[in-house]
Amino acid sequence: MRIHRRWGVMLLPVLAALLAMPALAQQSATPPAAAPSATPPKPKPKPPAKPAAEKPAAEKPASKPASKPATPPHAAGTPQPKLLGQYGEWGAYTASPGGKKVCFTIAKPTSTQTIPPNRPRNPIYMFISTRPADKVTDEISIVIGYPFKPGSEASAQVGSATFALYTQQDGAWIKNAAEEAQMITAMRSGDSLVIKGESAKGTKTTDTFTLKGVAQALDRTAAECK
């Protein structure tokens, strides 16, 4: 059985500090914390029979995606990931935490929408990771920027294809692992990816990622993590 993994919840404050949006800078005179070094994806939890309700975390002020490419998260005491190449909005990176090589691509959405409008959120990211030691290739995970409504599903649409996403806290992963390769194939030839979800506070969100450059970024990580 495939080993499922994810970026840990502990990385979210660091992500926000690393990629602080212009709107955040306007709302607070306090400078963001200094960015420590890099941490690999952490294990994705298996879907529980009854997802435990988490106390919703306070959502941070709304912001538009920054124009600069996404930067990988960091955690103290570990080496910074090496940039393999930047392909459109998709960055390809590698790191070797604990001596185990990890390759991943990362991107931020090019547009976001909330209903009701202008609801505050934390930064949003999509990761596609490969870990040869765990026999994991091109695993998709999303950090959505708010706690999902407990027990809810999100969706990912590429062209006419729609994929159900399992959610837990602020993370989402493809629900049916057998469809993951299909989603990757669709992304390679598609123009955009649309993620829809609902927060614990009832906010409905639509995030659009451009797929320009994702095929090249995946090819680069595949060559690095054979």
Over residues 78-119, the pLDDT tens digits come to 567 899 999 999 999 998 888 889 999 999 999 999 999 999
Average pLDDT (50-70) is 47
pLDDT for position 121 = 94
- Give, in order, the Cα–Cα distances in Å from 143 to each of 127, 129, 197, 198: 8, 13, 11, 13
pLDDT grade, residue 73 (50/70/90)?
low
pLDDT interval class at 52 (50, 70, 90): very low
Peptide bond before residue 40 is cis, with ω within 30 degrees of 0: no
The residue among 184 and 4 whose pLDDT is bigger is 184
Q: What gap in Å lies between CA 18 and CA 12, rounded to an integer?
A: 10
d(CA 224, CA 222): 5
From the centroid of its chain, how far is CA 116?
Answer: 23
More confident residue, 38 or 113: 113
Asked if the 5-44+60-224 domain carries CATH number 2.60.40.1880, the reply is yes
Q: How far apart are CA 40 and CA 134, in angstroms?
A: 13
Instruction: Kindly tell me if the per-residue pLDDT of 198 is higher than 90.
Output: yes
**Helix ranges restricted to H, 54-103:** none
To the nearest whole percent, how much of the chain has pLDDT over 90?
Answer: 60
Kindly tell me the burial class for residue 43, based on how many C-beta atoms sit within 10 Å of its own C-beta (0-12, 13-18, 19 or more): exposed
Q: Which helix (H) or strand (E) holds 216?
A: helix 214-224
> Cα–chain-centroid distance for residue 63?
17
Give me the half-sphere count of Cα atoms (radius 13 Å) on the Cβ side of residue 165: 28
Please report the pLDDT score of residue 56 as a whole number.
44
Confidence band (pLDDT; 50, 70, 90) for 33?
very low
d(CA 151, CA 41): 23
d(CA 219, CA 134): 19
125-172 pLDDT, tens digit each:
999 999 998 899 999 999 999 999 999 999 999 999 999 999 999 999
R_g of the chain computed on alpha carbons:
16
Round to whole Å and give the CA distance between 165 and 168.
10
Residue 4 has pLDDT above 70, yes or no: no
pLDDT of residue 80: 79
| For the chain, domain boundaries | 5-44+60-224
